Amino acid sequence: MRLLIKNGQIITHEQSYFADVLCEDGVITQINDHIPDENVTEVIDAQGMLIMPGGIDPHTHMQLPFMGTVAIDDFESGTKAALAGGTTMIIDFVIPNPQQNLLEAYHQWRGWAEKATCDYSFHVAITWWDDSVSRDMQTLVEKHGVNSFKHFMAYKNAIMATDDMMIASFSRCIELGAIPTVHAENGELVYHLQQSLLERNITGPEAHPLSRPPIVESEAANRAISIADTLGSPLYLVHVSASQTLDAIRYATENGQRVFGECLAAHLTIDDSVYQDKNWLHAAAHVMSPPFRPKNHQQALWNGLKSGALQTTATDHCAFCAEQKSMGKNDFTNIPNGVSSVEERLMVLWNNGVNTGQLTMNEFVAVTSTNAAKIFNIYPRKGAIQINADADLVIWDPKATKVLSVINQHSKVDFNIYEGMTMTGIPAYTIAAGEVAYQRGEVLVKVGKGKYINRPPYASYYQTIEQSHQRKVAKAVKRDQ
């Protein structure tokens, strides 16, 4: 398979220039002024279009068993939606039940993901702790290409990671060269606020944001950052949604810590007024954690992306249809948490970020692809346009428009949180592993075409972290008896 892309402008996280790109057998083999179209299988004329690294969504939940049901997009429909939006790789989550063997859970998820149409990888959640968990973390890092472990500080009585678990797990991450990540929300406070709202008979979706105010997020973020600092590990915060959390990240990084922040396309676009909607299903469709925030937090997130305090954008794609959301009809705490967004992320970031002047095109590439590849240690195989990089590309038409809607989406869910929004700047083609996977409205790729991507452990972060940590540890004083 030899695919030639001609006449386009290449946009990477650091450069913009005109060149043709030749993809052969899944990788980029030539980037040149004029590549002759002899012996090629297919030619795409990208005149007037931009060639960018395919999106990497570092936070999705396909087919997740959660809150008594299972997310409706499986690895087939979810990755088709990703490709239709210009995303060529997802990093999903293995979430073992408490007491479930980690390797068993990992193999379960690998089995579900065999249907994936784009490349994928897994973070593994630490939902309980004993010696077997510690041992299995090592096997996952050394034999199965896992270099990140997730800790849910929320969801008490379910998958919540308590401080003692995080201390044990972050320490283990340091030994193994893996990076800990956290969902930062104080699960005890959330539980307390939920119960007190229910006692006052406030049971609808409007109670959801009241049970998870910004301080619940920033307290947990500060705690995780403090644990990481004490132990000497880096830290990645998923779905930062509150300005107070950004303050915590800035303080930590200015004081020498390696703290990375992710935000979601949805949090950048939608505010908490959705929970006041008179239609119960409309409000419930927006129930996700952390919840949508008052408008001022949105601008704080854009500022975080601009300043580099936030490095990545994701979706937390976890789709539940109306029937599933209705499980919480009489009690908001039973509404399955999650929204769909994997198809729309790049368009939303472009339309609301690049078109408004908040992000340059190069910054767009950084926050939708390259930074995730770097942080999760798969750069420059992913997130780059260079010789020998995987030929995962999006050919972007910056002038074309599309109205986002449940009618034309590829997700199986029956709702679109961006319904009716017109996007200017959309993917014309998505190239995955050197082949056209999506073209003008149609996903063309075969089921199961996606590959599992191994992510090797880190070396370099840990040398510097270890050195600075050594300086902090006091030497024991020898005294005469």
Interacting residues toward Zn ion by CB under 5 A: 316
Q: How far is the CB of 391 from Zn ion (least distance, A)?
A: 29
Q: Which is nearer to Zn ion, 316 or 390 (CB)?
A: 316
Q: How far is the CB of 10 from Zn ion (least distance, A)?
A: 32
Alpha-carbon torsion 465, 467, 473, 476, what sign?
Answer: positive
User: Please, are residues 40 and 50 in contact by the beta-carbon 8 Å criterion?
Assistant: no
User: Please, are residues 46 and 8 in contact by the beta-carbon 8 Å criterion?
Assistant: yes
Beta bridge partners of 148: 179
Element of type H or E holding 89 = strand 87-94
CA nearest 338: which of 407, 402, 409, 411?
411
Q: How far is the CB of 369 from Zn ion (least distance, A)?
A: 19
Q: Which is nearer to Zn ion, 219 or 316 (CB)?
A: 316
Q: Which is nearer to Zn ion, 9 or 211 (CB)?
A: 211
Please identify which residue in the block is written with the tokens 């001022």.
Answer: 296
Helices 131-144 and 102-112, interaxial angle, to 10°?
40
Q: Which is nearer to Zn ion, 316 or 343 (CB)?
A: 316
Q: Which residues contact 68 (CB under 8 A, 6 or more apart)?
A: 327, 334, 336
Q: Which is nearer to Zn ion, 11 or 413 (CB)?
A: 413
Q: What is the C-alpha separation between 444 and 170, in angstroms, rounded?
A: 42
445 φ/ψ angles, rounded to the nearest 5 degrees: -85, 150
Q: How far is the CB of 67 from Zn ion (least distance, A)?
A: 13
SS3 49: coil
Q: Which is nearer to Zn ion, 76 or 316 (CB)?
A: 316
SS3 39: coil
Q: How far is the CB of 288 from Zn ion (least distance, A)?
A: 9
Q: How far is the CB of 113 from Zn ion (least distance, A)?
A: 16
Q: Which is nearer to Zn ion, 144 or 151 (CB)?
A: 151
Q: What is the C-alpha separation between 311 and 199, in angstroms, rounded?
A: 40
Residue nearest to Zn ion (CB): 316
Q: How far is the CB of 201 from Zn ion (least distance, A)?
A: 30
Tokens of 18: 């005109």
